[in-house]
Amino acid sequence: MNIPAIRHRSTGSDCYALDENTVVLNLTTGYDVEKVTVYSEDPFIDEVRRLREWKGVPKEMTRLYELEHTVVWTVELTPKYKRLQYWFMVEAEGERRCVFENKICPEAEKKRISIEYFKFPWINPADVIKPPAWVRDTVWYQIFPERYARSKEFKNDGRFREWGDFSNPNWRDLYGGSLRGITERLPYIKSLGISGIYLTPIFFSNSDHKYNTFDYYKVDPDFGTEDDLREMINTAHGMGIRVMLDAVFNHCGHMFFAWRDVWENGKSSKYYDWFFINSDDFARDDFSTLDGRFYTFSFWAGMPKLNTNNPEVQRYFTDLCIHWVRDFGIDGIRFDVGDEISHSFLRVVNRELKAVNPDVFLLGEIWFDSITWLNGYEYDSVMNYPFTGSVGDFWRDKKMTAKEFSQRLSFCRSLYPRQINEVVFSFLDTHDTARVRESCKNDNVLLQKLAILLTTAGSPCIYYGTEIAMRGKHTPYTRSTMPWDEIEAGKYDGIKSKVSELVHLRSALDDVKRDKTEFVFDERYPRLVCYKKGNVTVYINAQNSSVELNSEGKVMFSNCYDKGKLKKDGVLIELRDES
């Protein structure tokens, strides 16, 4: 038996409350394991029943995920008294091993050692992770406001480049995109099937991206006014579209009032402890902070790092968030560089914002396994970069089989509890990455990737312009202006209508939103991706040739498919009639 592969902890995605009555247990083993049984019961039941030994009630577990080297087994339990004590029996090739918290041993030895059982102490309703329910049903559309749309009332005062001229851009180039421009394009966004928009920062700054914020309470004048922001939000809400703003609380811009005060007054500034300053000689105009004189975002001197451990900083930015939620009615906040913000601050802002609006959505920008932040008291969700990497790798590595790809996707799902998986923020590209079309040999492959995104559990996001296959290998070319004249002339109608069809299909088929996927493999076609979600079956042909399908369901979406033949780079989504 592969004992080193066996692992479980009574926390995180291994052990969690799914709801106020149900506990989910997951155990990881090697592929050699044939059967897993969990023995569970109330930890105090032996005292009531006057038993000599606590044993637990057996229940067989089922396979949940198949990963590259391991298997994850799962079971749902409904403890009558809300408490749970448990251990596992693992069987492989005629061997049986007992798995306790402190020992994995043969069954015959369990009476000769000091046993520590696993425990789930109590299902406290307040501790059950409950992301806002509406997020599961939302398809997001990320907008970089400066490059999305000018208002019809726009007049160039000489500071703005010509829309569409993206030759030799830099981070200070302005094109005149605005909040009113977004408001005027909301019907277009709605027509795509979008139900949520996520805006990168909109507050006062001297850059095109606004991640070096100068004033968090002031809408950047080039984007408009507070009234323009309210109008955009109210108009979006009237169309059934939620709005999420970007919060840059890890760092600020060099003209933020507190940093300016520190720069001018040094240690005598009352804001000195709002930052991480390590040298008396910090106030120099060196571009880089590689010398460590103060901490910054990366090593950019113009973005000093805020001390979110400081109660005064926590108060300032919590009040700011309350202002956004209460006075503007925003539905969500995305926390930039969300892994470097203190946990203590996130707990404060979560508690106080949920008191204002329990349904507000808190999203963290984290690029790796983020279970530490997903405890129900900090973020509701995180950006699903492991998913993005897995999808990208499948098309980069032509030797990767569909089974290996399924293992990569299953790994992503194994990181978090089920309720998190159903709201995790998944995407193919953002303003921080190459546009997804750059890694696609044609628009058909783009549709394949979008089909996976939009039939996977989570809260998917489409970067503006991806619906028309916009390109851009690196910043700033990933943030180019939206070609509205060409869109309105019908140049992109083909790809746009296909993307819109996929987005609307997600809204129509509830099964694709669920965190339950059954992969199906065909030895004849090692790069034919096929998975079932309830009554829905998805086929993605990444072979170099056509494949024959025995399809009997109703075709809900197809591309490069004809009469049972799924061509190279093709997609088929069908619905089986189970009546």
**Looking at the domain assignment, is residue 216 inside a domain?**
no
Q: Are residues 27 and 111 in the same domain?
A: yes
Q: Are residues 286 and 375 in the same domain?
A: no
What is the per-residue pLDDT for 51? Answer: 61
Active site residue 336: yes
pLDDT above 90 for 55: no
pLDDT above 90 for 3: yes
Q: Are residues 19 and 49 in the same domain?
A: yes
Tokens 């590595």 belong to residue:
397
Give me the CATH number covering residue 274. 3.90.400.10
Confidence of residue 289 (pLDDT cuts 50, 70, 90): very high
Residue among 405, 417, 408 at smallest CA distance from 525: 405
440-444, Cβ contacts within 8 angstroms, sequence gap of 24 or more: 440/395, 440/469, 441/569, 442/569, 443/469, 443/494, 443/495, 444/559, 444/560, 444/569, 444/570, 444/571
Q: What is the mean pLDDT of residues 240-250?
A: 98
Q: What is the mean pLDDT of residues 296-307?
A: 96
- Express each pLDDT in 405-444 by its tens digit: 999 999 999 999 999 999 999 999 999 999 999 999 999 9
State the chain's mean pLDDT as an integer. Answer: 95
What is the per-residue pLDDT for 227? Answer: 98
Give me the CATH number covering residue 557. 2.60.40.1180
**Looking at the domain assignment, is residue 68 inside a domain?**
yes
Q: Are residues 256 and 242 in the same domain?
A: no
Q: Are residues 256 and 365 in the same domain?
A: no
Q: Are residues 95 and 242 in the same domain?
A: no
**Looking at the domain assignment, is residue 155 inside a domain?**
yes
Contact 427, 383 (CB under 8 A): yes
What is the per-residue pLDDT for 146? Answer: 97
Give me the CATH number covering residue 50. 2.60.40.10
Catalytic one among 42, 228, 331, 365?
365
Q: What is the mean pLDDT of residues 284-304?
A: 94
Greater model confidence, 475 or 468: 468
Q: Which residues span the domain enclosing 492? A: 136-190+227-249+311-512
Q: Are residues 410 and 329 in the same domain?
A: yes
- Express each pLDDT in 345-402 by its tens digit: 999 999 999 999 999 999 999 999 999 999 999 999 999 999 999 999 999 999 999 9
For residue 104, report the phi and psi dihedrals to the nearest 5 degrees: -115, 120
Q: Are residues 14 and 108 in the same domain?
A: yes
Q: Give me the number of domains the chain comprises.
A: 4
Active site residue 365: yes
Last residue of some domain: 263, 287, 307? 307
**Looking at the domain assignment, is residue 281 inside a domain?**
yes
Confidence of residue 285 (pLDDT cuts 50, 70, 90): confident
Give me the CATH number covering residue 177. 3.20.20.80
What is the per-residue pLDDT for 52? Answer: 67
**Looking at the domain assignment, is residue 28 inside a domain?**
yes
- Express each pLDDT in 314-341 by its tens digit: 999 999 999 999 999 999 999 999 999 9
**Looking at the domain assignment, is residue 447 inside a domain?**
yes
**Looking at the domain assignment, is residue 215 inside a domain?**
no
Q: Are residues 24 and 101 in the same domain?
A: yes
Report how far Cα 479 is from the mean position of its chain's Cα atoms: 21
Confidence of residue 28 (pLDDT cuts 50, 70, 90): very high
Torsion region of 337: left, alpha or beta (phi above 0 gives left; psi -120 to 50 gives alpha): left
Tokens 């069809």 belong to residue:
501
Q: Are residues 244 and 255 in the same domain?
A: no
Q: What is the mean pLDDT of residues 526-534?
A: 96
- Express each pLDDT in 191-223 by its tens digit: 999 999 999 999 999 999 999 999 999 999 999
Q: Are residues 302 and 410 in the same domain?
A: no
Q: What is the mean pLDDT of residues 174-194?
A: 98
Q: Are residues 288 and 417 in the same domain?
A: no
Catalytic one among 336, 380, 467, 574?
336
pLDDT above 80 for 141: yes
- Express each pLDDT in 531-561 by its tens digit: 999 999 999 999 999 999 987 789 999 999 9
What is the per-residue pLDDT for 50? Answer: 63
Torsion region of 483: left, alpha or beta (phi above 0 gives left; psi -120 to 50 gives alpha): beta
Measured CA to CA in angstroms, residue 401 lies from 68, 398, 415 at distances of 12, 8, 22
Q: How far apart are CA 290 and CA 15, in angstroms?
A: 42
pLDDT above 70 for 460: yes
**Looking at the domain assignment, is residue 207 inside a domain?**
no
What is the pTM assigned to this prediction? Answer: 0.95
Last residue of some domain: 307, 322, 353? 307
Q: How far apart are CA 163 and CA 150, in angstroms?
A: 9
Confidence of residue 577 (pLDDT cuts 50, 70, 90): confident
Q: Which run of H or of E encompasses 295?
A: none
What is the per-residue pLDDT for 169? Answer: 86
Last residue of some domain: 101, 127, 153? 127
Six-digit token pair at 197? 């928009």
Contact 304, 296 (CB under 8 A): yes
What is the per-residue pLDDT for 49? Answer: 64
Q: How far apart are CA 75 and CA 64, in angstroms?
A: 9
